Amino acid sequence: MTAIRSLSARLERVPLSRPWGAEVTSVGVIATHVALTDGSEGWGFSWTPQIGAEAVLALVEHDIAPAAVGRDADPRETWEPLWRHLHEAGGGGVTTIALAGLDLALWDAEARAAGVSISARLGRRRPSVRAYGSGVNLHYPLDELVAQARRWVDAGFDAVKVKVGRPDIAEDADRVAAVRDVLGPGRALMIDANQRWDLDTATAAIARLEPFAPAWIEEPLRADDLAAHVELSRRITTPIAAGENVHTVHRFSEYLDSGAAGVVQPNIVRVGGITPFLRIVGLARAHGVPVHPHLLPELSGQLALTLPGDPFVEDVEDAGFGALGALADPSPVRIADGLLTELPHTGLGLRFRHHPTDAIPR
């Protein structure tokens, strides 16, 4: 048995060229490295935009690394017992985000040892996958939002997603109408409320927004309020997209069993890495629900190439690791004309370079 010999981690703060708000001007990347007893090694990461990066790093260093040493290097065998080991600190959230740092590094080591990319290791189904333009843009004035939508159209995207959840629903309707005018009838439009509404507000807001033909409404309610999602799904015809802040296979199972999720959007890091992500994909497939991975296109895009159906990959404007200069190597993917394709690399192709941390807002 090849075992884990060591796991190390460091925190990198990556400045955003297009801030996600006054308080989110950088993202935290916990870069991980695993060494195995057969001499092979792998690189992975955990990620959190604003909150908890130091806590994730501490969990990796003080709890995951000591518990991982000596265990089987096969992530399929190691993930579940380590998750159970960490469960006292919480079933998901910081614990699963931290566990992704090891899981991704183990999958990277496995693919590198085979001399292939992670998509080839898992079984690539297609040469490219559709990407949609996305932005953290609720704070944008209307003219900036419209200009962003035009940039997406000019870049060849056939689908875009915008934020909703302004205090006045009429303002949301005006903003969505303006974006729809830019897109025309032939492009898909998705809307994302980032958990800002309660049940009655969501019901009223979506009634105002459904005439603009949204492909889905993302996170209309608190992610931990399953009952409200079930009720909202009865009240509206627009599919509910859920998963960005759902952290465990078990919680995804509850969403799927209840029929509340018409679209599943696991964030590969937040659920704990590739190992649980693949289990969530299996659950969604059994329920006939499409999977569109959340954020992180350099990672999500590679896995989307292996998924059944017609997955979407989210490309947040000016937020890719490659575009931000965060990577030590060339980006493993390319997004052009609304399509993501893979570039030559082995493993995940995601090794992070050291960033100077002085003068970077935390």
What contacts 361, CB < 8 A, 6 or more positions away?
15, 25, 26
SS3 for 292-327 is: CCCCCHHHHHHHHCCCCCCCEEEEECCCCCCCCCCE
State the sign of the Cα–Cα–Cα–Cα dihedral 277, 280, 286, 289: negative
- Listed in sequence order, the DSSP H helices in 18-141 are 53-59, 65-68, 75-86, 94-114, 118-122
Q: What is the distance, to the nearest Å, from the Cα of residue 6 to the centroid of all Cα atoms in its chain? A: 27
Query: Which residue in the list 163, 247, 292, 345 is annotated as catalytic?
Result: 163
Quick one: tokens of 239?
A: 């599919």
Q: Tell me whether residue 39 is exposed, middle or buried, using C-beta atoms within 10 angstroms of its C-beta: 0 to 12, 13 to 18, 19 or more.
A: exposed
Q: Are 149 and 317 in contact (CB under 8 A)?
A: no
The 3 state secondary structure assigned to 23-53 is CCCEEEEEEEEEEECCCCEEEEEEEECCCCH
Catalytic residue among 161, 292, 294, 345: 294
User: Could you confirm whether 294 is annotated as catalytic?
Assistant: yes
All residues at 6 or more sequence positions from 17 whose CB lies less than 8 Å from its CB, including other chains? 318, 323, 324
Longest dimension (CA), the chain: 61
What is the per-residue burial (b if ≥16 Cβ within 10 Å, else e) of 306-325?
bbeeebbbbbbbebbbbbbe
Q: Which of 3, 10, 5 is nearest to 61 (CA)?
A: 10
Burial class (CB in 10 A: 0-12, 13-18, 19+), 231: middle
Measure the CA–CA gap between 303 and 280, rounded to whole angstroms: 13
Instruction: Please check whether residue 7 is in contact with residue 33, taking contact to mean a CB–CB distance below 8 angstroms.
Output: yes
Would you say 209 and 172 are in contact if contact means Cβ atoms under 8 Å apart?
A: yes
Q: Which residues are catalytic?
A: 163, 294
